[in-house]
Amino acid sequence: MRILDRKFWIFDMDGTLTLAVHDFEAIRTTLGLPEGCEILETLAALPQARALPLWRRLDEIEMDLAARASPAPGARALLVALRRRGARLGILTRNSVRAAHETLRVAGLQAYFDPRWVLGREGAAPKPDPQGIRALLSRWQAPATRTVVVGDYLFDLQAGRAAGAATIYVDASGFFPWREHADFSVRALDALLGKHR
């Protein structure tokens, strides 16, 4: 089956559909978290009284970043092609769902996504857990074998593989350090328009 013939597509947001603007080390510093830690997992492990103001601050940071969103190269071309082919499109992000919708709006990509199929960290365990992918597939009554997960980070690819979907790795640098977790690796999303497998 050609990759474009798959009918169900789940995208990561930042660095995949939009240009990467997150400086995660700066976010950790702002939140007072250890260098190199996973932000969501670290906050989830804190006592609620300490974590709550940090979650609020993280939401503020994400909304500030959403206000600067711009589409990644080739994103619109791929989304147009997939919609013409009748594909169902969803988003699974580790950001809040509010930030995800604002990012789509600012980047001019919201018309391609039904709001019901945009999942943030409130709606599922964060990637690399495949729960969010499985939730979308359940809502769509879709098999993983006809699904594609697209992302720019290891967690996206691990989640897709764990759910049984095909995985596409986007890395504008062309270095692809996690290539072994991907079925396809591309520097820009519109490169997929030439894929025939």
The whole-number pLDDT of residue 196 equals: 45
Where in the chain are the domains? 3-19+71-194, 24-66
* Beta sheet of 8-11, edge-to-edge order: 118-119, 88-92, 8-11, 147-151, 166-170, 184-186
Class level of CATH domain 3-19+71-194: alpha beta
Low-confidence ranges of the chain (pLDDT < 50): 196-197
pTM, full prediction: 0.95
pLDDT, tens digit, 9 for 90 and up, residues 35-88: 999 999 999 999 999 999 999 999 999 999 999 999 999 999 999 999 999 999
CA–CA dist 16, 150 (Å, integer): 7
| Residues 110/104, Cβ–Cβ less than 8 Å | yes
Q: What are the φ/ψ torsions at residue 4 (nearest 5 degrees)?
A: -75, -15
| Residues 78/150, Cβ–Cβ less than 8 Å | no
CA–CA dist 79, 114 (Å, integer): 13
Q: What are the φ/ψ torsions at residue 136 (nearest 5 degrees)?
A: -65, -40
The whole-number pLDDT of residue 5 equals: 94
Domain 24-66 fold is 434 Repressor (Amino-terminal Domain) (1.10.260)
| Residues 161/21, Cβ–Cβ less than 8 Å | no
